[in-house]
Amino acid sequence: MTVRDCLVWITGASSGIGEALAYELSRRGARLVLSSRREDALEAVRERCRRPGEHLVQPLDLARPDTLRAAADAVRDTVGPVDVLVNNGGISQRGTAAETEMEVVRRIMEVNFFGAVQLTKAVLPSMIERQQGHVVVVSSVVGKFGTPLRSSYAASKHALHGWFDSLRAEVYDDGIGVTLACPGFVKTNVASNALYP
């Protein structure tokens, strides 16, 4: 699939992998929707992309899944249907399973899992209707193998694998692809902003 002239929505686009994807995809001719909680950082990323006027900044908070359908409707009404959704936004954790408070566990699941699922469910109907589209999930090698001090983060990534692997089979005949990317350690703000017990 070529991305030239495709509308690609990237969550977590204000830094790290999402920011790097924005620059590369704009270089390849994609039109972008850039999302994260930090609108000022998104505007800075948009300005550094090629053809910044073609890209939309759509602030959102993955910890508030009840707002994501409205965000998806706003994107569709403003720039049209999404061709590729890149679920990249997320938070991490540092702490033992025994020490990590349930509030932290729930927040990680809310952002990393429920946020990605809700946004995907909001975008999916138009992809099914058009019989085309692609959903990308930036997971982690920790989504395949748990590691010490990252139990909740690993659980959220494992949950993504189960849900999106199932989705892949369900939407295959609708012409929709689902990709789970599992990078190893990448030096981004996600590590420095990790939640602690």
Residues marked as catalytic: 153
DSSP secondary structure letter of residue 145: S
CA distance 149 to 166: 28
What DSSP string describes 93-114? B-B-TTTS-HHHHHHHIIIIII
CA separation for the pair 116, 111 (Å, rounded):
7
Do residues 54 and 8 make contact, with C-beta atoms less than 8 angstroms apart? no
Q: How many whole angstroms separate alpha carbon 106 and alpha carbon 88?
A: 18
Record the tokens describing residue 59, joined without a space. 């602030």
Q: Is 47 left (phi over 0), alpha (psi -120 to 50) or beta?
A: alpha
* Gap between the Cα atoms of 72 and 118, Å rounded: 10
